[in-house]
Amino acid sequence: MGKPRRIRRILKWTGVGLCILTLGVYWASGHWHAIWLNQKRTFYVRIGDGVIALIHSYSRLPTEDGWVWVRVTGAKTGFDRYDWGFSNGDIAGKMQYIRVPLWLPLLLVAIPTAFIFWRDHRFIPPGHCNECGYNLTSNVSGICPECGTTW
């Protein structure tokens, strides 16, 4: 197996894993909110309601640092979370944030992954090299002259 084919295999299965992970986080974010605070309690990451938010506060937040999990009832778990945004300190004058819906990274990973799967599963007719598709009809050496693969 050639190196480009191995790289494609690694990329497509990594993409599948990232898509499954993102879908799992998206689903869980409808039931729990995960909040991570840094030690100074001025920067935190919030995952909830299908959105990931990076938030910087100019004042210390009253909760402890590290991960905080909050159970949510009646939350939405569908793909109806399409909002995204950026604030430059407008919220109470003390906060900046960037908010991105989780379906956006899912889409950014799923499209190239689907393309790699499509490219990798193209039909190679009999009598052609399985690696590059070169026509080997009259070849008796057992080595593809295009890519060097033995068959």
Same domain, yes or no, for 67 and 110?
A: yes
Domain hosting residue 151, numbered range: 125-151
CA 80 to chain centre: 19
Give the residue-averaged pLDDT of 12-24: 94
What residues have CB less than 8 Å from 146, skipping those under 6 apart?
129, 132, 134
Same domain, yes or no, for 110 and 41?
A: yes
Same domain, yes or no, for 65 and 81?
A: yes
More confident of the two residues 39 and 30: 30
Same domain, yes or no, for 15 and 84?
A: yes
Same domain, yes or no, for 113 and 130?
A: no
Per-residue pLDDT tens over the stretch 112-134: 999 988 887 767 788 888 888 88
Q: How many domains does the chain have?
A: 2
| Dist CA 64 CA 54 (whole Å) | 17
Categorize the per-residue pLDDT at 1 as very low, low, confident or very high, splitting at 50, 70 and 90. Answer: very low
